[in-house]
Every structure is written in structure tokens, then in C-alpha cells.
Amino acid sequence: MMLIPGLREKPKYIIESTIQDVHLALTRFNHVVVFAEFNLKLNLLWVSLKPVNGIRLEIAGAIQELVPEAKLVSHI
């Protein structure tokens, strides 16, 4: 789970660009990503993964490269 603080208050084009960046980062890991959902009301990204050691932090890092304001909330 990742939090992108304040995203819902941003202009629509920034929201769309941010979601596109998250999608771009996740496509690099399509072999392990099972499900991804962005809840704009809560500014939360939820990603379900296949069990692969160490991949959670790698995915979070890839998202943060494109969306630096994204914060990892949970990596369980």
C-alpha cells in the first residue's frame, strides 16, 4: 500500500499523469503484480503481488522514481 498525499486536490491533468506514471512503473513488474487499485478519495494505491522475496521494496522504489511524493505505508 502506498500513499500519495494531496493528490486528490491536484488538477485533473496532474492526477492523470501521476496515475499514468504509477501504471508505467507497475508494468515493469507485470510478472508479479496480480492487482492494483488507486483510491483517489483516500490517495491510496493498493497493489497485490505474487510472493517473490524482496520485490515489494523494488516495486515501491520504482514507483517513487516516477512519483517521488509516493510514500510506502505497508510492505507486509
Which three three-digit cell numbers place residue 62?
520504482
φ/ψ of residue 61, rounded to 5: -65, -40
Mean pLDDT by runs of 10 across the 76 residues of the chain is 94 95 95 94 93 90 96 76
pTM of the complete model? 0.86
pLDDT of residue 76: 58
pLDDT at residue 54, as a whole number: 85
Q: Are 36 and 46 within 8 A, CB to CB? A: yes
Q: What is the pLDDT, as a whole number, of residue 34?
A: 94
Question: Strands 2-3 and 33-39: what pairing?
Answer: unpaired
